[in-house]
Structure 1
Amino acid sequence: MTRRFNTSGPCLPDLHYMIPALTRLPAAPALVDESEYFVVHAPRQTGKTTALRALATELTASGKYAALHFSCEVAESAGDDYVAAQQAILQTIERRARISLPEELRPRSWAKTPDIGTLGGALTAWAEACPRPLVLFFDEIDAIQGESLINVLRQLREGFNERPAHYPASIILCGLRDVRDYKAASGGDPSRLGTASPFNVKVESLRLGDFTEDEVRSLYGQHTADTGQEFTPDALSRAFELTAGQPWLVNALAREVVRNMAVPVDVPITTAHLDRAKERLIQARATHLDSLVDKLTEPRVRRVIEPMLAGGLTKVDPYDDDLSYVRDLGLIKQTDPVQVANPLYREVIPRVLSAGVQANVTASPSSFVRADGRLDFRGILESFADFWRENGDMLAAAQLYREAAPHLILMAFLQRVVNGGGYVDREYGVGRGRVDLLVRWPYQDAEANAALQREALEIKVHRPDKGDPTRDGIGQLDAYLDALGLDTGTLVIFDRRPTAAPIAQRTQFGIVTTPQGRPVTLLRA
């Protein structure tokens, strides 16, 4: 059977291309050998379940442990009913043990008295009867809600001192976030567990990382080995550039090209194929992307993402865990400075936030394509200026992310008129008060050769508490054009001061010269 790129559920070696799961959690086996309790966390669809199931299988196969991986997701519907939550978890353990463990290692009949300590009593009975030390992986632990989660965590902590003879030797909690962010308070209160965590016996918090560039090449190389279809060297680099190694994105890009775009196996996969696949994934709002952007409405997420979209600094209280929370969701990079996790997310976030704006853009993309195939970019800017004069104030007031509203509106307009034939690349100058945009428009020149038109823009905002950003913007645009090797570009300055002239009066074009002598268009809006 031909293997394939997997974008749903855990990977199976016979069915899917995959990176050896155990190499992604190299520290875990040693922690198990030391009978430690620890946490594994990572964003959705990064391969947690694949890695944990493989680790449990290997530990059991070693002959040293009875290791079982199971999901706590079924207990979510129990809410604060901790008795029902415990029973749901125990039923899942029994079912998974029948599937995954030899009969002599499975739990025997255990007392199921519906009380506050049902889970702990059952685990003690199993540990005492099992001929090997127990290792249990509680996956989706953060699906358990409120008082039920507190109840489960406290029982696991209580049994810690009795391990391994009377309790599991090693317990691993697995979820989207570290244990400090589990929503454990009753009544739906989103308070975190804080320093008084009911699971303060954990020794480590391991985060499952993204693929390295070599791992992306290895994964795609498995497809080449199986089918003979090659990825060009540039395509391999582009795949890592677009995804930054996020496992679902890496697989989804390749799957879109191979399966849905159905590029013939005798045709090498190129960067053009991957760029088209990226656009198709975004437009389809694939499940992974949809669940990710659903988090954008959360206040904790907005406090981190909004200033970044405007090129500003993310201001977070030093005692606030918002940054850690958003990192754990996979929306931003694990390292400073604060940046969106990868270029694909960098496109998805503003496009989702400005979808309502884009739906109101009536300009026809075809009207901006000249006879020679190039874009009439000045015409696009003038059309945007008309759109901004008529709708800017109303649309800006309606945006959830008010601080970044002008940026989102301009990006939505450009996306609408470029969509289908070209691309809008975004770069947020965090802390520098700027957002850089690059419009890429492929076309054929007079000799029918493939060519690429590139148009660079920089967005700045004149805010009430800041001086006029024109001078800084011209210098920054000059540097941006230098990096791109372009002779001209556009600086857009949105005036957000209460004392600014009415939008119809202040939205005007001009021409300025950069320090390096480049003539650039200045649009004040």
Structure 2
Amino acid sequence: MKTFETRGPVDAARNYVVKRTTELVGFVDRVKQGRYIVIFAPRQTGKTTFFRWALEALVDAEITYFPIQLNLEEYKNFSPSDFYRRLHKDIHKEIKSVFEKRGETFSDRLSQFLENTKITNHVSMREFFEDLANLLISNSGSQTTPATQRVVIIIDEFDGIPQTVVSDFLHSLRRIYLSGVDSRCPFSLGIVGVKSITQLNYDRSISPFNIQDEFALPNFTLEQVQELLAQYTEAVGQVFAPEVIKALHRQTAGQPFLVTRFAQILT
């Protein structure tokens, strides 16, 4: 039996969920345009779940999107060298995971590149992505994978980036973005966090990330709360009076955690 989940990302197979269809369409459209997107919102608003769904939705008949999901939550106190070493390891792991899900294998060139190339700073990170784009193209072209592959990276918990690297890191992303949509890697980027980039502690005499496209993930609408509770009604037969649903939405302002917690209490 499905449940209302409040402890982390939700799974539609196990939990009652608000699908956020309209928001997903808007976000995926920006990704397909090659935007570098930022979304900052309080915790427990469904950001991580939303971006996981967005990556899953990136299916196109002509273009293969190569999704890489990173999380910087544990990185805050790392030295620059440890940060980039860990970043490289996580990227390698994610690339391997994508190939495994597709039932494909690395080419020898790509395998050697991932094993032997190191990311030690923001410049080598940019160069790593430049080389990765070319190697993914040479590794593709099979019946299941079109020759064009566009890397899409979601960086969750961006607030965890060490202060000693944030400015240079953003500068390199900006340079990648300005390199042109045809050769860009990552093609599109999503930065997710609680603090906005302007709240991070870096040198504001320069503007390292003025190419960002801000994306808002709003609280649930009344219709979305109705959708959520209707799933429970369909499953077990318990009906919620319309005035109860309206009161729940009004008192929680549609905040996802509060809505879901109230739903737990009511059921």
Question: Who is 2:12 aligned against?
Answer: 13
1:222 corresponds, among 223, 231, 249, to 231
CA radius of gyration, larger in: 1
Question: Who is 2:52 aligned against?
Answer: 53
Question: Who is 1:421 aligned against?
Answer: none
1:100 deviates by 4.2
1:172 paired to 2:203:
no
The 2-side partners of 1:25 and 1:59 are apart by 10
Work out the percentage of aligned pairs sharing the same amino acid: 25
Question: Who is 1:150 aligned against?
Answer: 167
1:35 paired to 2:34:
yes
2:210 corresponds, among 200, 207, 216, to 200
1:256 deviates by 2.8
Question: Who is 2:136 aligned against?
Answer: 130
Question: Who is 2:218 aligned against?
Answer: 209
Q: Which has the higher contact order (CA 8 A, sep 6+)?
A: 2
Question: Who is 1:98 aligned against?
Answer: 96
Equivalent position SS for 2:11: coil
Q: Which one-letter code corresponds to 1:129 in the other structure?
A: L
Q: 1:55 to 1:179 in 2, by over 3 A?
A: same
Equivalent position SS for 1:211: coil
The 2-side partners of 1:153 and 1:213 are apart by 38
Structure 1 portions without partners, runs of 5+: 186-192, 259-525
Q: 1:98 to 1:201 in 2, by over 3 A?
A: same
Q: 1:250 to 1:126 in 2, by over 3 A?
A: same
Question: Who is 1:235 aligned against?
Answer: 244
Question: Who is 2:125 aligned against?
Answer: 119
The 2-side partners of 1:143 and 1:184 are apart by 14
Q: Which one-letter code corresponds to 1:68 in the other structure?
A: I
Are the aligned partners of 1:105 and 1:130 in contact in 2 as well (CA < 8 Å)?
no
1:68 deviates by 2.3
Are the aligned partners of 2:39 and 2:192 in contact in 1 as well (CA < 8 Å)?
yes
The alignment's TM-score, normalised by the length of structure 1, stands at 0.44
The 2-side partners of 1:113 and 1:67 are apart by 19
The 2-side partners of 1:250 and 1:99 are apart by 34
1:93 deviates by 2.2
Deviation readout 1:26-61 (Å, 9 max, x if unpaired): 422222222221212221111111111111112146
Equivalent position SS for 2:16: coil
Q: Which one-letter code corresponds to 2:56 in the other structure?
A: T
The alignment's TM-score, normalised by the length of structure 2, stands at 0.83
Question: Who is 1:86 aligned against?
Answer: 84
Q: Which one-letter code corresponds to 1:124 in the other structure?
A: E
The 2-side partners of 1:133 and 1:236 are apart by 42
Are the aligned partners of 1:37 and 1:172 in contact in 2 as well (CA < 8 Å)?
yes
Deviation readout 1:65-91 (Å, 9 max, x if unpaired): 11222212232231xx22211222222
The 1-side partners of 2:57 and 2:150 are apart by 14
1:218 deviates by 0.7
Are the aligned partners of 1:133 and 1:164 in contact in 2 as well (CA < 8 Å)?
no
Are the aligned partners of 1:128 and 1:167 in contact in 2 as well (CA < 8 Å)?
no
Question: Who is 1:440 aligned against?
Answer: none
Aligned length in residues:
246
The 2-side partners of 1:113 and 1:40 are apart by 26
Q: 1:105 to 1:42 in 2, by over 3 A?
A: farther
Q: Which one-letter code corresponds to 1:217 in the other structure?
A: Q
Provide the aligned C-alpha RMSD in A: 2.3
Q: Which one-letter code corresponds to 1:77 in the other structure?
A: N
The 2-side partners of 1:18 and 1:228 are apart by 17
Are the aligned partners of 1:36 and 1:170 in contact in 2 as well (CA < 8 Å)?
yes
Deviation readout 1:435-468 (Å, 9 max, x if unpaired): xxxxxxxxxxxxxxxxxxxxxxxxxxxxxxxxxx
Question: Who is 1:257 aligned against?
Answer: 266
1:145 deviates by 2.4
Q: 1:105 to 1:63 in 2, by over 3 A?
A: farther
Q: Which one-letter code corresponds to 1:153 in the other structure?
A: L
Are the aligned partners of 1:211 and 1:246 in contact in 2 as well (CA < 8 Å)?
yes
Q: 1:85 to 1:12 in 2, by over 3 A?
A: same
The 2-side partners of 1:217 and 1:237 are apart by 9
